[in-house]
Amino acid sequence: MDILNALVVFLNFVFIPAAAYGAQLALGALGVTLIYGILRFSNFAHGDTMAFGTAVVILVTWGLQSMGVSLGPLPTALLALPFGIAATAALVLATDRAVYRFYRVKKAAPIILVMASVGVMFVMNGLTRLLIGVSEYRFDDGARFIINVRDFREWSGLPEGLALRSTQALTLVVAVIVVAALFWFLNRTKSGKAMRAYSDNEDLALLSGIDPERVVRLTWIIAASLATIAGTLYGLDKSFKAFNYFQILLPIFAAAIVGGLGSPLGAIAGGFLVAFSEVAVTYPWVKVVGYLAPGYEPGGLMQLLGTEYKFAVSFVILIVVLLFRPTGLFRGKSV
């Protein structure tokens, strides 16, 4: 048995990638869950909001790079992030004014709002394509690795290497800061309390003098910031391609529903649950098992599902939750 090497392989190929991916999903799911809590519909346009925000960030990053601005070891995209957030917030506020408010005032059925969000998804998708096109872009600069494989091998003397990319570490650090700020806002500030009150009971909130339009505006701004940050981190970690952001919608929904729609804590737990299941189920375990049980020669790769079916994992999680606990792990709300 070679527990140390098995652990290094596990950390390198399962734990670190899944933790970074989980943080990105959690930020996305937080946006979905907040919108669900306040506006009471599942926002299908969230993936494309992420794509739009990231596209703006990339354009500003290119602008900054051409002016010679850089953050040294950190990616320049971090400097561009505020611009992306501002542009995305402006876009979603305009969308709310032009599209969603009408149905909100009319108290239309939630499914009509879902359908409107599908229309918004298209327009945003088209805008992103107009803005930046459909190709794949990498926009990470600065230091590539915090720990790279060779240094780790030399330092530890193990045959297996461990890599920690700077984008992965950055994702986790940023996610922790953002989540801490969000929870401080929701629990400690007056506006945050107003949001939670509105989410719990709309009529009671109105009676207490909370301005519903202000709560809705705040929600959109927060959701747009979360979407832009999540999208940028995802793009830094992997690469930016508009279509991938449509596909990530399913894992994000799964994460939000697993945690319980409307529950911020649940969204974070759900994000990590979905990410870890996805990576664990599609990872070929043969190397780890080889170190743990040296004599054992498994026939195949010990991969439960091919990587092309990674979306099936979020789907199965979704189905299981719907079957056994439709309100999610953290008791979200039901309409």
Give the footprint of another protein on this chain (CB under 8 A): 41-42, 44, 99, 102, 108-112, 114-116, 118-127, 129-130, 133-134, 246-247, 249-250, 253-254, 257, 261, 300, 304, 306, 308-309, 311-312, 314-315, 318-319, 322-323, 326, 334-335
Nearer to another protein, 122 or 155 (CB): 122
DSSP lists the bridge partners of residue 137 as: 240
Task: Supply 128's token pair.
Answer: 């992103």
In the complex, what is the shortest distance from the CB of residue 132 to another protein, in angstroms, rounded to a whole number?
A: 10
Helix, strand, or coil (residue 74): strand
Distance CA 253, CA 225 (A): 18
In the complex, what is the shortest distance from the CB of residue 331 to another protein, in angstroms, rounded to a whole number?
A: 14
**CB-count burial class (<10 Å; 0-12, 13-18, 19+) for 153:** middle
Which one, of 103, 96, 59, lies nearest residue 77 by Cα? 59
Task: Supply 132's token pair.
Answer: 């930046």
Nearer to another protein, 69 or 335 (CB): 335
In the complex, what is the shortest distance from the CB of residue 269 to another protein, in angstroms, rounded to a whole number?
A: 18
Distance CA 294, CA 321 (A): 38
Nearer to another protein, 82 or 126 (CB): 126
> By the 8 A CB rule, do 65 and 141 touch?
yes
In the complex, what is the shortest distance from the CB of residue 309 to another protein, in angstroms, rounded to a whole number?
A: 6
Nearer to another protein, 125 or 167 (CB): 125
Distance CA 189, CA 79 (A): 27
Nearer to another protein, 50 or 233 (CB): 50
In the complex, what is the shortest distance from the CB of residue 119 to another protein, in angstroms, rounded to a whole number?
A: 4
In the complex, what is the shortest distance from the CB of residue 42 to another protein, in angstroms, rounded to a whole number?
A: 4
Nearer to another protein, 119 or 159 (CB): 119
> CA 249 → CA 141, 190, 271, 312, 318, distances in Å?
27, 32, 12, 13, 13
